[in-house]
Amino acid sequence: MLVGAPLLQVFGRLGCGGLILSTQGHVLAANAEAQRILQDVIGYADAGPDLLDGSGRDTIKQLLARSKARVQLDGENWILTMREGKRPLIMSAILVPVLGEEMSHTVLLLIDLEQAPRPHTAALERVFSLTAAEARLAALLASGATVNEAASTHNVSVATIRTQLAAIFAKTRTNRQAELVMLISRLSALV
């Protein structure tokens, strides 16, 4: 297994795509989220196998060619790919030294602002002692659903959702949905 592969798994849990590129620009590893993003942005029917067999370099070049804006934040350059009818894709390249060698690989981080990480409901149950129903509701609200949408999705009344939400607030020590969403999003890296 490539040394950076666990890092790519964590990126995936956070809803981010990740690719590890060699010094020559070849894709050494890619997580499933990166493959999904590349399929969406570049339009490949199947970006998965092609990425690791040598054409990954061309794929990255195509992605960069679609990028028009650069933003500098705290000394780091972020590349924006604007997409019609969608939020932008954000990319950042991070040099990662290879231990024992005088070279570095590049980790390309891809953040698709159209996708939100989904928290693992079992993690919510265990960390906050939520019931299974409360954990499902918390995850649904964290993904952007309203109370009315949650009631419709779960086939219960809005009053039932509000009662469950009050219990969730008490167990998570939060007071508002926005605060709950922020807290839950921090747990998305847990499996």
- Give me the CATH number covering residue 18: 3.30.450
Q: Do 75 and 95 have their domain in common? A: yes
Instruction: Give me the phi and psi of 21, to 5 degrees please.
Output: -110, 140
Q: Which range marks the domain in which residue 145 is found?
A: 121-185
Q: Do 104 and 137 have their domain in common? A: no
The amino acid at 100: G
What is the tens place of the pLDDT at every residue in 44-55?
555 444 566 666
Q: Do 139 and 163 have their domain in common? A: yes
Q: Do 39 and 98 have their domain in common? A: yes
**Which of 71, 87, 112 is the endpoint of a domain?**
112
DSSP label at residue 51: I
Q: Do 105 and 127 have their domain in common? A: no
**Which of 47, 78, 112 is the endpoint of a domain?**
112
Q: Do 125 and 92 have their domain in common? A: no
* Spatial contact of 108 and 90, defined as CB atoms under 8 Å apart: no
pLDDT tens per residue across all 191 residues of the chain: 455 678 898 888 888 999 998 888 888 889 999 988 988 888 755 544 456 666 677 777 888 888 878 888 788 889 998 888 999 899 998 888 877 777 788 889 999 998 877 788 999 999 999 999 999 999 999 888 999 999 999 999 999 999 999 999 999 999 999 999 989 988 876 65
What is the tens place of the pLDDT at every residue in 7-49?
898 888 888 999 998 888 888 889 999 988 988 888 755 544 4
- 58 within domain boundaries: yes
Q: Do 20 and 106 have their domain in common? A: yes
Q: How many domains does the chain have?
A: 2
* Spatial contact of 184 and 142, defined as CB atoms under 8 Å apart: yes
**Which of 91, 112, 133 is the endpoint of a domain?**
112
Helix axes 158-172, 177-185, angle to 10 degrees: 60
Q: Do 96 and 131 have their domain in common? A: no
Helices (H) and strands (E) in the chain, counts: 9, 6
Helix axes 158-172, 132-142, angle to 10 degrees: 90
Q: Do 108 and 125 have their domain in common? A: no
3-state helix, strand, coil in the chain (%, to 5): 45, 25, 30
- 191 within domain boundaries: no
